[in-house]
Structure 1
Amino acid sequence: MLKIYKIKITKPIPFIKLLPNFITLLGLVVGVSAIKFGLDGKWEKAVYCTLVAAIIDGIDGRIARMLNATSPFGAELDSLCDFANFGVVPAYLVYLWSFQQYEYQVFSWGSILLFMVCMALRLARFNTTIFQEIHNKKIKYFFTGVPAPCGALLALMPMILDFEVSSVLGINIRKHTIMIDLYIVVIAFLLASSLPTFSTKNINIKHEYLSLAMMVFAVIIISLIIYPWYLLPSIAFIYMLSIPVCYFISRKFY
């Protein structure tokens, strides 16, 4: 008896539907390129790569929603790229930059591994809570734990401070390996924590303040281009201060 197999013919996918995935892959290429610059000792370019990858990560999902091109494949691809860009790359860069010549490398390697593990846990938790925003106001208005791109840039902050700020303060941050170790551990726990952190997901700007908001945004971008190694630490400091504020607000109002 002959068996008849039905062949499922799938329709071609329009290029515009694949565009968000291409943007995600672009972010992966840029983010992982930071390792090459790190191996060459070009630390500033390495940080730039991570910063650009963070910007791309912030827009690929929005572009997918605008084009009605969201898919489970795109979500999984984005999560895997996030782990590479913001989990593996920053940890490896910090290790190359500060810990290679450290007498107790094993402890530093442990802090780096802890950072990567906590990043993986943070991303896994995000994937499981992404559909709960409608029903949970705390998830709707806050992130749970420090988001992956923020965690990556916070982990790189000792390196960023060493570019300009350390010379002004007269401190060689690179030699304070024990403090950097402890700092990486703190950032790792903030990633995996359940602390509510600042989110722009549901911030609405009134029409009368639109021009002011655009001006502030322009000033930030210009400052980022001219004085990146002063602005980024300032933003990181303000962000860290916002964590207890967000915790208090979430407990009081949500």
Structure 2
Amino acid sequence: MRPPIRRPLRRPPGGLPLRAVAPNAVTALALCSGLSGIRFAISAQWELAVVMVLIAGVLDGLDGRVARLLHGESRFGAELDSLSDAISFGVSPALILYLWSLHALPRFGWMAALVLAVFCALRLARFNANIDADDQPHKSAGFLTGVPAPAGAALALLPLFLWFVTEAPILRDPRLVAPWAVAVALLMVSSLATFSTGSLKLRPNIRFEAIAIVVAVGAAAVSAPWQTAAAAGIAYLLALPFSVASYARVKRLRAAAALPPSSSSLPPSA
């Protein structure tokens, strides 16, 4: 009998395109950055720990744009992004706050850290569950539901921003940090309508002023990063009532447009 002929293995045609790899690579870098924040917190390098979380937030904002630019959106990328967000903006800030302040209240401090991490994961689970839903009134109006995970992480770390600037001991008091962490966690899982950066549009006549403001904020972030971060967090908090009021106005306009015309506006019959 003749031995079987062994044919060389051939690669499948096409292969994996770069546009499917690049967005996931950015998401993986965000995950590495968030985990590095935990490492620096263990070493009590608080500024580097916070910087790693902020870098993860920047990368999280880039991966979706890279995916849309390269037409590399995928279900795998969406799941990886949610996993990265849960760790970078839930677990990492919770452990940083615990190691920085909350460990002084071992029982209640750890409970506050758990609430922050778990509620962030719940928010992302809710987002994934509703990603294909047809009825999304907040999204259709250009709003988000609750505080997004990156903004929630930055708000949770706001006491650290202020502590870097002032070094006031009260900012490190776990009796202040614990309820603050719980409050931020509740904002993340709330049903509040919050502004979406993708839906914000500028008028053409203020384009130059907008560029000037961006340059000024960039210069402030370079020269005084923690003051700028604290100011941005406070400004975001102050904007929450305006976002709720803006969505309520949109909701009223939609309800008025959906009403049938009144009988008094109809022409009289012959």
TM-score in same-fold range (> 0.5):
yes
1:227 aligns with 2:242: no
Q: 1:11 to 1:196 in 2, by over 3 A?
A: same
Structure 1, unmatched stretches of 5+, are 1-8
The answer to whether the 8 Å contact 2:19/2:67 transfers is no
Following the alignment from structure 2 to structure 1, what is the Cα–Cα distance between the partners of residues 137 and 172?
Answer: 44
Measured after TM superposition, the shift of residue 201 of structure 1 is 1.7
Match of 1:107 in 2: 108
Q: Aligned in 2, Cα 1:175/1:62: closer, same or farther, shift over 3 Å?
A: closer
CA separation in 2, counterparts of 1:107 and 1:137?
Answer: 37
> Structure 2 CA distance, aligned partners of 1:215 and 1:22?
33
Which whole-Å CA distance do the structure 1 matches of 2:172 and 2:199 have between them?
A: 42
- Residues in 2 aligned to 1:90 and 1:177: alpha-carbon distance in whole angstroms: 15
Shift of 1:212: 2.6
Q: Secondary structure at the match of 2:115?
A: helix
Q: Would you say the 8 A contact 1:118–1:189 is kept in 2?
A: yes
Q: Any idea what SS the aligned residue of 1:194 has?
A: coil
CA distance 1:22–1:151, shift in 2 (3 Å): same
| Higher RCO (C-alpha 8 Å, min separation 6) | 1
Change (3 A) 1:138 1:184: same
Cα distance change, pair 205–130 in 1 and its aligned pair in 2 (3 A): farther
Q: Which amino acid aligns with 2:94?
A: A
Aligned residue for 2:190? 193
Pairwise CA RMSD of aligned residues?
1.8
User: In percent, how many aligned pairs have the same letter?
Assistant: 37
Partner of residue 6, structure 1: none
Count the aligned residue pairs.
240
For 1:161, what is the secondary structure of its paired residue?
Answer: helix
* Partner residue of 1:239 out of 232, 236, 240: 236
Unaligned runs of 5+ in 2: 1-11, 252-270
1:121 counterpart residue number:
122
Q: Could you tell me whether the CA contact under 8 Å between 1:98 and 1:174 is conserved in 2?
A: no
User: How far apart are residue 183 of structure 1 and its match?
Assistant: 0.7
Which has the greater radius of gyration?
2
Structure 2 residue 63 is the aligned partner of structure 1 residue 60? yes
Q: TM-score, normalised by structure 2?
A: 0.83
Using structure 1 for the length normalisation, give the TM-score: 0.88
